[in-house]
Structure 1
Amino acid sequence: MSEDSVEPAELKRSDIMQIEDDRFTADNVAIVTGAASGIGRATAIVLAENGLTTVATDVDEAGLDGTLEKAEEVAVEGEIHALPGDLTDDDEMDAVVEEAAQLGDIRFLANIAGMQHIDSIGDFPMDTYDMMHQVMLRAPLYLSKLCLPRMRETGGGVVGNMASVHGHYVTRDKVAYNMMKFGIRGLTRSIAAEGEGENRSFSISTGYVKTPLVMNQIEDSAESRGITEREVVEDVMLGQARTKEMMEPVEVGNLFAFGFSENARHLNGNDLLWDGGYTHTYE
């Protein structure tokens, strides 16, 4: 691979942040959506390595198998259970939560699953909008509705939601994605408002992360613009950021682990804006 290309994400056990927390035990369960690849896969592995019984759910069953294989490859110490589920189907979400509850006390929920579609408002297909709304906003609300009472019964828990810099400002031709990310921050604050200090919530907003969705765009963008892959990342994707480097999925997984831990007990309704200076700086 040339020096002008961009290395794909590679999760190594040494990259996983180890957190001491009395609640990070096999008796407690974390549910992670979108766990078949990218940030969801990395988060499931990070949480398992930190001792939690982790339920990895996704509609992509082959991808979930890949998550289990990666966990075995890096020799995580905790258990990951793959439970396929469709986030557009309430019955399937009910089943995932019920099965997860048989494994221990549900204490943590990571709503990570996401989609992207690029089109102007005038051309945006409403069936695609409806799907994105179901996966990225309705499902996090419904899963929170199912899990929060169980968390309260066992002494309280935490919901972590995957937001984005697009939950702080918007770019053109991403109307549905922009709306979903602003909306997930609203859900995060609503959970905090009703949590009474027992159940808390947080969101994570990143810039570009080395997920398959992003990495698959780089080569085509480089070819179409007549520039190197690294120039696509540094000038096109990260042109507004101060840190000219994409995040690794495991770094985001580490943020979820930190947010779930007692180290973050005052993080409630807030957003972890981890964007390399993307949002609050400009030239």
Structure 2
Amino acid sequence: MATDEFDLSEPELTADDVLVLDDERFVPDTVAVVTGAASGIGRATAVALAANGLTVVGADIDEEGLDGTVDLAGDVGTDGEVLPVSTDLTDDDDVAAMIDAAAERGNLRYVANIAGMQHIASIPEFPMEKYDLLLDIMLRAPFLTAKLAMPHIRDTDDGEGAIGNMSSVHGRYATQDKAAYITAKHGLNGLTRSIAAEGAGRVRGFSVSVGYVLTPLMVNQIEDTAAERGISEREVVEDVMLGQARTKEPMTPAEVANLFVFGFSGHSKHLNGGDMLYDGGYSTTYE
């Protein structure tokens, strides 16, 4: 497949893209925290949850991007509100303030740990400051967020809720030049199971694993991967990103956001410690 056969720009989210469910807890008094809400999957998830009537605390270090998420929610016409909270996930005080802000708005029941980043380099060439930053954002911050959010979830009238973690096919197996990302995602799967183990069936933990999604993170890494491997950008898309997949197109942020909507809903009461794998057959088939 040639790269010009599909558009590599992030698609615009519309109301028709969003899964809306009838759920007794999807009301304005129910609060969800979404990290990484300034762009990509985090933005789409914040808007999708607001479209389902929830109050959403959208957290990100990118304040301008958060404003764009609020604007998008207005354009979509969501019943719920997106509240932007500037948050540096490497700052414990900021993470605590994010959770406090959510608890002050209503019944904190849901957390979507979505914030992520990428760095392409071989292990011998991988800068330790980048390794530490990726692990801080994608593993330590989700742990701290869960640590602070779980008591609030338990303090609701029925003590029920869920924490959803954005994992990846790279949480199941490894490819070259992404060691920090892969390490973080494997660890995040362990955190998901630990939440389930301690949640007593009432505070659920689940993860979402997808292949390649049309986000700024993915689009930006095409050039880096091409340079690191000495191949063309077209070969990155055809052979590296979608080579093993049976569904020969990337997912959209809205499609991933809808998995979090479903995962938080009452339809997913048996999704606990499990992983929602939507990778187009990337990690489960071979030729």
**Among 207, 212, 215, the residue aligned to 2:211:** 207
User: 4+ runs of 1 displaced by more than 4 Å?
Assistant: 217-227
- Is 1:183 the counterpart of 2:187? The answer is yes
Aligned counterpart, 2:141: 139
* Bigger shift: residues 234-243 or 35-44: 234-243
Distance, in Å, in 2 between the alignment partners of 1:11 and 1:184 is 27
Distance, in Å, in 2 between the alignment partners of 1:232 and 1:116 is 16
Aligned counterpart, 1:275: 279
Q: Is the 8 A contact 1:234 1:245 kept in 2?
A: no
Name the amino acid aligned to 1:4: E
Q: Kindly report the root-mean-square deviation, in angstroms, between the aligned alpha carbons of the 2 structures.
A: 1.8
Describe how 1:138-157 pairs up with structure 2 within 5 A: 138-154=140-156, 155-157=159-161
Deviation, 1:215, is 2.1
Query: SS at the partner of 2:5?
Result: coil
Q: Is the 8 A contact 2:118 2:221 kept in 1?
A: no
Deviation, 1:234, is 3.8
Distance, in Å, in 1 between the alignment partners of 2:210 and 2:182 is 13
**Among 160, 167, 172, the residue aligned to 1:168:** 172
For residues 225-279 of structure 1, give each alpha carbon's deviation from its aligned partner in whole angstroms, at most 9, with x where no partner exists: 567x5x6534441010000010000000000000000100000000001100000
Name the amino acid aligned to 1:246: P
Name the amino acid aligned to 1:157: G
- Is 1:195 the counterpart of 2:199? The answer is yes
Q: CA 1:221–1:134 in 2, change beyond 3 Å: closer, same or farther?
A: closer
Query: SS at the partner of 1:83?
Result: strand
Q: CA 1:21–1:193 in 2, change beyond 3 Å: closer, same or farther?
A: same
Aligned counterpart, 1:111: 113
Deviation, 1:216, is 3.3
Deviation, 1:61, is 0.5
Q: Is the 8 A contact 2:193 2:274 kept in 1?
A: yes
Name the amino acid aligned to 2:5: D
Name the amino acid aligned to 2:269: R
Distance, in Å, in 1 between the alignment partners of 2:22 and 2:6 is 37
**Among 235, 242, 245, the residue aligned to 1:241:** 245
Q: What is the TM-score normalised by the length of structure 2?
A: 0.93
For residues 53-93 of structure 1, give each alpha carbon's deviation from its aligned partner in whole angstroms, at most 9, with x where no partner exists: 00000001111011111111222221000001100011111
Name the amino acid aligned to 1:237: M
Aligned counterpart, 1:35: 37
Deviation, 1:171, is 0.4
Name the amino acid aligned to 2:203: N
Q: What is the TM-score normalised by the length of structure 1?
A: 0.94
Q: CA 1:130–1:222 in 2, change beyond 3 Å: closer, same or farther?
A: closer
- How many residue pairs align between the two structures? 280
